[in-house]
Amino acid sequence: MTDAAESPRTNFIRQIAAADLASGKHERVATRFPPEPNGYLHIGHAKSIVLNFGLAQDFGGTCNLRFDDTNPHKENVEFVESIKEDVRWLGFDWGDRLYFASDYFEKLYDFAVELINKGLAYVCELSADEMRAYRGTLTEPGKDSPYRNRSVEENLSLFTRMRAGEFPDGSRTLRARIDMASPNINLRDPVLYRIKHGVVHHQTGTTWCLYPTYDYTHPISDALEGITHSLCTLEFEDHRPLYDWCVGNVSVPSKPRQIEFSRLNLEYSVMSKRRLTELVSESHVHGWDDPRMPTIAGLRRRGYTPASIREFCHRIGITKSDNLVEMAMLESAIRDDLDAHAPRRMAVLRPLKVVLTNYPEGQAEEVEARNHPKDESMGARRLPFGREIYIDRSDFEEVPPKGFKRLVPDGEVRLRNAYVIRCDEVIKDAAGEVTELRASIDMDTLGKNPEGRKVKGVIHWVSAAHAVPAEVRLYDRLFQAVMPGAGGADYRDDINPASLQVLTDCVLEPSLRDAAVGERFQFEREGYFVVDRDATPERPVFNLTVGLRDTWGKSKK
């Protein structure tokens, strides 16, 4: 992939940023990526990361990494660390601008006091159920809380006591005093603070028993950091008036603008963190970095490159319309990258032994094989060749289907980078299973066709004497349905029971013995593979990254 191919396409947000710089509204672009540390990042987050960091990069601005950590129950340091690792791996740098919303708890508290003093916030004693009943519906206005008209003094006193820990969970909230009749339910006196005793926050420990809500924290954090363009997904569109209300009513140093874009939805995947958490905790997959997961950690272990994920994000673009992206889009991005950059190797996944009966016993030689068909700079390697080789079971058919071009009884095939062989004899076990082939080699066919004969098929092989035994893990889609759980069904019912197939008897050409964890190759005629972190010096383990060709179009259910 060239750098030019990765250059971002324009979109409406870039146009807004460019216009704001041109008009002098802003002197610089400042964005932020604000994950909640309650799970690992997924490919949807990558879209947001590439947008936020990419925008800042292209306009010479800055992008902050800010953990939105206002909900300590489900958050932890493992998630904080994994998120940092994933953002870095994707190729982005927040420099010294790493923040936590919890850094602002003291300031947020002071702003809440400011709101109370302005008559714009009050302590409410309605229970959660009562509050819901008072809120009204989309068609009916809400009712004022009986606590709405408390005096400033009473509110200040109660809010101080809330902070001091005098009241139990759920007994009181601090609410914005906006408009219970607003057609926008988000403006019907939303909760700004709730009481949570007994939680240990991963950053602030037990300092606080009062936690600000996301809707209150987010705009003020943006304003404190001087964010110019606060980019978020479409479900926050209805929250924008509240965002503006918050930054408009407290003494923050800047007024960021919220702009919404549509979130990424990917076919055959789930993307909500709740579901991803369940897949892990209920052991439907082997952890957050299971190669079948749409997490960044999973994609990395699957063999995706950072460049391919960035490229995917550029290709899908940024719009305001909700859509479902085809899995083939994601796969073509990594396939294009690996096609250009992955060295070619030979690996036999389902070995069938072939004895070349006319090749002298004890003789050995090496043939040359290029590492890439188009890129000469990737060089070549020597492959040992000998009397016994392995080919893939699927490259031999006793009763060939129509159009089968590979090895058949009494037929010829070319061994890639080597010679033409002819199958003379098929050996079977008692059950009738083919266990070995006897073949003869035409030593006059290295790099050229035999006189007067056309050999159409070319197959890959590995020398038996030098073969490196290995495990190869093949992955299929994690879900069988395009939209798992659509129509209210349980998304777990759509889990594909055959999403992982482990092949334990594979053989590799010897150069693969020393491949390092994370190294990627094309196994010729099979697909692209990456060394898994389970690999040991004794036993290489490879993951299938992606096949050589797109098969999604054919198989869509």
Binding-site residue set for ATP: 36-38, 42-48, 233, 263-264, 271-273
Query: Sign (positive/negative) of CA torsion 523, 525, 528, 529?
Result: negative
Q: How far is CA 63 from the centre of its chain?
A: 20
- What does the per-residue mask of binding to ligand ATP show for 515-554, with x meaning CB under 6 A? ----------------------------------------
Contact between 278 and ligand ATP (CB under 6 A)?
Answer: no
DSSP 508: E
Asked if residue 524 lies in contact with residue 303, where contact means CB atoms within 8 angstroms, the answer is: no
Which one of 11, 21, 36, 552 is in contact with ligand ATP (CB under 6 A)?
36
Rg of the chain, C-alpha, whole Å: 31
CA-to-CA dists, residue 131 to 49, 143, 187, angstroms: 36, 9, 14
Residue 76 falls in which region: left (phi positive, over 0), alpha (psi -120 to 50) or beta? beta
The distance of closest approach from Cβ of residue 232 to ligand ATP in the complex, given in angstroms and rounded to an integer, is 5
Single out the residue of 47, 177, 335, 422 in contact with ligand ATP (rule: CB under 6 A): 47
Partners of 355 in the beta sheet? 388, 438
Of 74 and 118, the one with the shorter C-beta distance to ligand ATP is 74
230 is a site residue for ligand ATP (CB under 6 A): no
Question: Which of ligand ATP, Mg ion, none binds 411 (CB below 5-8 Å, type-dependent)?
Answer: none
Minimum distance of ligand ATP from residue 271's CB (angstroms): 5
Per the residue annotation, which of 36, 125, 397, 471 is the catalytic one? Answer: 36
- Judge whether 36 counts as a catalytic residue: yes
Q: Does 263 bind ligand ATP (CB under 6 A)?
A: yes
Q: Which of residues 48-67 bind ligand ATP (CB under 6 A)?
A: 48
d(CA 34, CA 458): 52
Residues 18-57: x/- map of binding to Mg ion (CB under 5 A)?
------------------x---------------------
34 binds, among Mg ion, ligand ATP, none (CB under 5 to 8 A by kind): ligand ATP
272 is a contact residue toward ligand ATP (CB under 6 A): yes
Q: Using the rule CB under 6 A, give the single segment among 34-42, 349-357, 391-399, 405-413 that binds ligand ATP.
A: 34-42
Catalytic residue selected from 84, 143, 196, 263: 263
Backbone angles phi and psi of 84, in degrees to 5: -60, -45
Contact partner at residue 328 from Mg ion, ligand ATP, none, CB < 5 to 8 Å by partner kind: none
328 lies in the site for ligand ATP, by CB under 6 A: no
Question: Is 194 or 414 the residue whose CB approaches Mg ion more closely?
Answer: 194
Size of interface with Mg ion, in residues (CB under 5 A): 1
Q: CA 118 to CA 113: how far, in whole Å? A: 9
In 3-state terms, what secondary structure has residue 65? strand
Q: Is 301 a catalytic residue?
A: no
Q: Across the beta sheet with 210-212, what order do the strands follow?
A: 121-124, 173-176, 191-195, 210-212
Minimum CB separation of residue 232 from Mg ion in Å reads 9
Sorted by sequence, the CB contacts under 8 Å of residue 376 that are 6+ apart come out as: 370
**Which residues contact residue 39 at a Cβ distance below 8 angstroms, ignoring those fewer than 6 apart?**
79, 273, 276, 277, 288
Check binding of 34 to ligand ATP (CB under 6 A): yes
What phi and psi, each to the nearest 5 degrees, are found at residue 208?
-115, 145
- For 391-441, the DSSP string reads EEGGGB-SSPPTT--SB-TT-EEEETTS-EEEEEEEEE-TTS-EEEEEEEE
Q: What's the min distance (Å) between Cβ of 450 and ligand ATP?
A: 56
Q: Which stretch binds ligand ATP (CB under 6 A): 108-116, 271-279, 347-355, 378-386?
A: 271-279
Strand order in the sheet with 98-100: 30-33, 62-67, 98-100
- Residue 45 binds to ligand ATP (criterion: CB under 6 A): yes
Q: Which of 8, 26, 30, 44 binds ligand ATP (CB under 6 A)?
A: 44
String of DSSP letters for 158-218: HHHHHHTT-S-TTS-EEEE-S-TT-SSGGGSS-EEEEE--S--BTTTBTS-SEEE-HHHHH
Q: From the candidates 273, 344, 381, 414, which is the catalytic residue?
A: 273
What CA–CA distance (Å, rounded) separates 51 from 31? 9
The yes-or-no answer on residue 118 being catalytic is: no
Tell the smallest beta-carbon distance from residue 354 to ligand ATP (Å): 49
By CB under 6 A, residue 227 contacts ligand ATP: no
Q: Which is nearer to Mg ion, 212 or 351 (CB)?
A: 212
- Could you tell me which residues are beta bridge partners of residue 344? 522
Rank residues 299 and 413 by Cβ distance to ligand ATP and give the closer one: 299
Least Å from the CB of residue 334 to Mg ion: 27
In the complex, the smallest distance separating the C-beta of residue 103 from Mg ion, rounded to whole angstroms, is: 18
CB of 233 to Mg ion, least distance (A): 9
Of positions 11, 186, 233, 358, contacts ligand ATP by CB under 6 A: 233
With CB atoms as reference, the residue minimizing the distance to Mg ion is: 36
CA 208 to each of CA 28, 162, 197, 336: distance values in angstroms, whole numbers, following the listed order: 35, 10, 8, 50
Instruction: Please give the residue ranges that form the binding site for ligand ATP (CB under 6 A).
Output: 34-36, 44-45, 47-48, 68, 232-233, 263-264, 271-273
Q: Which residues are catalytic?
A: 36, 263, 273
Instruction: Please give the residue ranges that form the binding site for Mg ion (CB under 5 A).
Output: 36
